[in-house]
Amino acid sequence: MRIILDTMGSDNGAGEFVRGAIMAIDELDIDIVLVGKEEEIRKHLKAEDPGNEYKKNISVVNAEEVVEMEDDPLAVMKQKPGASMTVALKLLADGKGDALVSAGNTGALLTQATLIVKRIRGIRRAALAPVIPTAEGVALLIDSGANAECTPEYLYQFALMGAFYSENALGIKNPRIGLLNNGAEAHKGDEVHRQAHKLLSEAAERGEINFVGNIEGRDGPLGSADVIVADGFSGNVYLKTMEGVGMFFARELKGMFMGSFAGKIAALLVRKHIGSFKQKIDYNEAGGAPLLGVRKPVIKAHGSAKAKALRNAVIQAIDYIDSGMTIKLSSSLKGEETSDE
């Protein structure tokens, strides 16, 4: 199995990708393709692997241009054809790798994955689907930023993709699908969400999905659904709010326990539980967000991801491959390939 890593465009540089690749190879029987500025990558490889122990598992593909965060996603392919992200996606599309991990510009990754790798037959829009912690374990949030404006049909397809991924990659049997809305009642929300509720209810009656109805923002963290369906705007706000609340709690706990001698003693007594809590809310543990709906696995890692998170993103990519989701979903939809409008 070969995983492609786009090493450029993240906050921490190619070194973290090199370290993450080595961590993954130590645990898994895989090959890694590092795409980016070759001179910089090899400098980090020399530092991390002076004995060339990983030479047979790691290859380097040169790409001198970088997709910056401020670049226009729609213009990147024309303006920067030699960008590491573009080169990496072309390698994936050409069968030179089984999956791709990138921590670069989200909009550019979404746009180029759609244009270069293409969507699964029958899928109208690809969607970002991060795994988020809940009181019951984890849930899949789809979409978290790829599609700010959605139709009811997009939300219906997000539910299908989320259900397939949750069952086949996360191992959640008959996952509960909840529609993120501003109220639990079927009549709540705008026309798009009311119509989406109708489509999802009808799909549940046909036995396609396990739809549990609308859920409010507070319900998700409590574990009311295994898949949270949202338009990209609401999903992104929901995700960033959860990240902020997690950081707030972590900071407050640290201040509470480290602010006094008695607090430090108490921290020692509950150290194991604090560690478990921090691990649960740490985005590095998840690795990244799969881009569901494109023909081959693409994982969007956090822009500030370090080696551990990138190693986890590689593992996540392998789980995606092993799930066989793209084939299963395409067979289920039995639709015709749509245009890239």
> What confidence tens digit (pLDDT) does each residue in 100-140 have?
999 999 999 999 999 999 999 889 999 999 999 898 889 99
CB-based burial label for 244 (10 Å; 0-12, 13-18, 19+): exposed
Query: Of 299, 327, 328, 337, which is closest to residue 123 (Cα–Cα)?
Result: 337
Residue 170's alpha-carbon distances to 130, 140, 195, in angstroms, are 12, 9, 28
Alpha helices in the chain (DSSP H): 14-27, 38-48, 76-79, 84-93, 106-112, 152-168, 191-205, 232-258, 261-269, 271-281, 283-286, 307-323, 325-333
> What CATH code would you report for 124-285?
3.40.718.10
Query: Of 70, 21, 112, 47, which is closest to residue 298 (Cα–Cα)?
Result: 112
| 175 token code pair | 């996952």
End-to-end CA distance of the chain: 33
pLDDT of res. 278 = 62
Residues of the chain with confidence (pLDDT) below 50 = 335-341
Phi/psi at 219 (5° precision): -75, -35
Question: Collapsing DSSP states into helix, strand and coil, what is residue 323?
Answer: helix
**CATH classification for the domain delimited by 1-123+293-341, as one of 3.60.20.30, 3.30.1600.10, 3.30.160.20, 3.40.718.10:** 3.40.718.10
How far apart, in whole angstroms, are the C-alpha atoms of residue 232 and residue 225? 18
The pTM assigned to this predicted structure is 0.86
pLDDT of res. 340 = 40
Buried residues in 165-180 as b, exposed as e (16+ CB within 10 A): bbbbbbebeebbbbbb
pLDDT of res. 121 = 86
Query: Of 69, 61, 75, 68, which is closest to residue 5 (Cα–Cα)?
Result: 61
Listing DSSP states for 29-85 in one string gives S-EEEEEE-HHHHHHHHHHH-TT-TTTTTEEEEE--B---TTS-TTTHHHH-TTBHH
Query: Of 145, 215, 126, 207, which is closest to residue 179 (Cα–Cα)?
Result: 215
pLDDT of res. 129 = 94
Query: Of 23, 46, 41, 21, which is closest to residue 32 (Cα–Cα)?
Result: 21
How far apart, in whole angstroms, are the C-alpha atoms of residue 148 and residue 160? 19
Q: Show me where the domains of the chain are located.
A: 1-123+293-341, 124-285
pLDDT of res. 274 = 65
Phi/psi at 140 (5° precision): -100, 125
Identical fold between 1-123+293-341 and 124-285:
yes
pLDDT of res. 42 = 95
According to DSSP, the β-strands at 176-180 and 227-229 are parallel
Does a cis peptide bond (omega within 30 degrees of 0) precede residue 143? yes
